Amino acid sequence: MTAQECSLTTLEAVSDILSQAPPIAACHLRPHPACCLFISWNGCIVLVYDGFPPPLVQAKMRITNNNDVMLRLKEENFGSKWPKTTLGAVNDGADELSLEQFTRLRDICNRYSNQIINNISTNNGIKVDILSIVEYQQRGLEKLSKRIDVPLDDPTTKSCNDVDEDSSSNSTPSEEEQSRVNSVISEWNDVQAYLPKVNAPGSRIESYRQDFCGRTCVAFIISTMPAPLRDVLSEFRHAVDEEFPGRYGWLDETSLHCTLRSLDEYAKGI
């Protein structure tokens, strides 16, 4: 399917849904306090958050509750049920990791996770004051054909490093949200059992960059990411490339995002 063949109706409908009263509050995505740099299935490297904060849960529920009424969306993928940002993916043709190599890669993730956790104030995390409904031409969102931004309710003019009581409350995920994330990241505690999932084929960097039309609702993060966090992520990518040269392709910073859910629809007649 070409970009020209993708309908814009879904994007406009979701924009209307998210703009309805009461307004959705601005909030913050907070890096996970124990393990924020993680190797997910297929070897993708992700920045993990401690759970969707209540305003983003509200946004997701609005979309779901309007499905079958205004929308015909496919079921939500599990991958968008725990909040994360994909930083990079394995290059095509890369060899499988050995257990020793996987352990070294996990150690690098843990080392830089600790830097984020111990040396950077992440109570406020990455501010989310805009949700974007996009039609993309590449899965990694490095190339878009349509973007509609929905501003969230943000009565303050404070920077993303400032904390007030309301924003802290808005940004604290529920126990259910936190538990869902913890169940995912706990998988790599058993390295032998987890390694086959890391080495599983698919989700290579080329798949993020090949021509493919789709729709999704996301929060782009780079414009509100605290500078110290951005610096650590840059150092982390460099460390991975030094230890595993040529293994990873990194998505462009301007495309980095947290997905709320896919907006792809069932084909007509289904």
pTM of the model: 0.91
What separation, in Å, do the N-terminal and C-terminal C-alpha atoms of the chain show? Answer: 18
217: left (phi over 0), alpha (psi -120 to 50) or beta: beta
What was the pLDDT predicted at 157? 53
What lies within 8 Å, CB to CB, of 217 at 6+ separation is: 14, 18, 59, 63, 131, 132, 133, 134, 259, 260, 261, 263
What was the pLDDT predicted at 29? 96
Residue pLDDT, tens place only, 219-244? 999 999 999 999 999 999 999 999 99
What was the pLDDT predicted at 219? 99
Which residue numbers in the chain have pLDDT < 50?
Answer: 1-8, 160, 162-165, 270
What was the pLDDT predicted at 124? 64
Three-state secondary structure of 215-265: EEEEEECHHHCCHHHHHHHHHHHHHHHHHCCCCEEECCHHHCEEEEEECCE
Considering only CA atoms, give the Rg of the chain: 18
Separation in Å, CA 55 to CA 26, 31, 173, 178, 215: 7, 17, 9, 15, 21
Whether the Cβ atoms of residue 87 and residue 256 lie closer than 8 Å to each other: yes
Report the distance separating Cα 84 and Cα 31, nearest Å. 9
What was the pLDDT predicted at 170? 86
What was the pLDDT predicted at 163? 46
What was the pLDDT predicted at 67? 84
- β-sheet with 130-136: strand ranges across: 144-151, 130-136, 214-220, 257-262
Report the distance separating Cα 200 and Cα 198, nearest Å. 6
What was the pLDDT predicted at 5? 41
What lies within 8 Å, CB to CB, of 212 at 6+ separation is: 136, 137, 138, 139
Tell me whether residue 156 is exposed, middle or buried, using C-beta atoms within 10 angstroms of its C-beta: 0 to 12, 13 to 18, 19 or more: exposed
- DSSP string across 128-162: E-EEEEEEESSTTSSSEEEEEEEE-B------TT-
Whether the Cβ atoms of residue 264 and residue 214 lie closer than 8 Å to each other: yes
Report the distance separating Cα 179 and Cα 232, nearest Å. 26
